[in-house]
Amino acid sequence: MKIIVLAGGTSTEREVSIVSGTMVCKALREKGHQALLVDIFCGVEVPQVDEELFMEAYDVDQAAAYMRSFDSHLEEIQAGRREFFGPNVLELCQYADLVFLALHGSNGEDGKVQAAFDLFGIRYTGTGYLSSAIAMDKALTKQFFREHGVPTPAGISLVKGEGSTKLADYGMSLPVVVKPCCGGSSVGVSIVSTEQEYQEALEQAFSYEEELVIEEYVSGREFSVGVVAGKAYPVIEIAPIEGFYDYTNKYKAGSTVETCPAELDGEKTREMQRYAEEGAAALKIETYCRLDFMMNGEGKIYCLEANTLPGMTPTSLLPQEAQVLGMNFADLCDHLVEISLKKYENPGSMAGAAKEKR
């Protein structure tokens, strides 16, 4: 298949996305696909979009280096143009059989790209625009979890400049977790136990977004569960050597101890997997995702959030879970392509309509 692997973009997770995209593109080419790595925002210069472009010799690492060449003047490019999609991006995506979304964060994981692709008749991996948007919003996600019986920590949302920031006004007390409402990769997330830390965390998180989620702190063990085609993958436990599972611990090799399958008894494993499947269903997520959990000292499980385009880097969790099931990285990428294509088998859906247009 001719596949465009879209990565990069303008979010705070641009570099993680480039790493994910590079690995995915190499894996898909290993599986025999004609895959090309493209920066969704910076685009790529090509003579013309045709069959020959996909048949030529291709260096994935060189493509990734080209993407990174824009990093130092990304803001300048943003200031100089209004359109999000870079040169030749839409043309390439429309020509390809499928787009593999290796995007993370805003303008990629929040449903905007998915909605545009639905309108352009472009087929893509992962869930649709509505579930992407809901899952990206942590405040909305918590509401959906509560309404569908998926346990989640108590919390509130705060909008910059509106209302009180005093925890007591909301019946909350320290310690709490402060996080941007729509961020990813734990960027801007803080665990605070003093009033000074709380005020500093608010200032930091508000520098990323206008809306925050303040959540009760759950002390205990941290886990993650992938859900692929509606079925939960093996549970993985994440134990950072220092601090919590923040941006550094997620992507720096050796900074966490990850155990898969997690050392849980069968009953607790099934309970967490059931909540993962129910959480994905509550958010109407199709194809695949990953849900994050905490379990306190009494064994109570809390679902924190869902990731609709989980990382595909050397330290990412979903590939580790797939490995336990006997799927190597290339097998997993190929499987995600396969299940994503099934979205387009129903002509009555928006995804099916994209297929009919083709």
Count helices and strands (H / E) in the chain: 14, 13
Query: What are φ and ψ of residue 78, in 5° steps?
Result: -60, -40
Among all chains, which residue has been given the structure tokens 């048949």?
55
Please pick, among 11, 13, 224, 278, the residue that the annotation labels catalytic.
Answer: 13
Radius of gyration of the chain (CA): 20
> Measured over all CA atoms, what is the biggest interatomic distance in the chain, rounded to whole angstroms?
64
Burial class (CB in 10 A: 0-12, 13-18, 19+), 297: exposed
- Going by their DSSP bridges, the two strands 2-7 and 34-39 should be labelled as parallel
Q: Residue 193 carries which DSSP code?
A: -
Q: Is 305 annotated as a binding residue?
A: yes
Q: How far is CA 300 from CA 91, 146, 156, 222, 232, in A?
A: 49, 15, 21, 12, 19
Given 17, 106, 316, 340, which residue is catalytic? 316
Helix axes 138-147, 266-282, angle to 10 degrees: 110
**Which is the catalytic residue, given 132, 185, 224, 340?**
185
Strands 98-101 and 2-7, bridge-based pairing: parallel
Mapping DSSP to helix (H, G, I), strand (E, B) and coil, where does residue 127 land?
coil
Q: Is 173 a catalytic residue?
A: no
The DSSP bridge partners found for residue 157 are 213
13 is catalytic: yes
The alpha carbon dihedral of 205, 208, 210, 212 has a sign of negative
Question: Known binder of ligand: residue 307?
Answer: yes
69 is catalytic: no
Closest-CA residue to 125 (of 348, 337, 347, 358): 337
Residue 292 assigned as binding residue? yes
Alpha-carbon distance values, 189 to 13, 192, 244, 330 (Å): 14, 10, 10, 32
The SS3 assignment for 251 reads helix
Question: What's the helix, strand, coil split of the chain in %, to 5?
Answer: 40, 20, 40
Residues with catalytic annotation? Answer: 13, 185, 316
Residue ranges for the known binding site are 292, 305, 307
> Which segments are annotated as binding site for Mg(2+)?
292, 305, 307
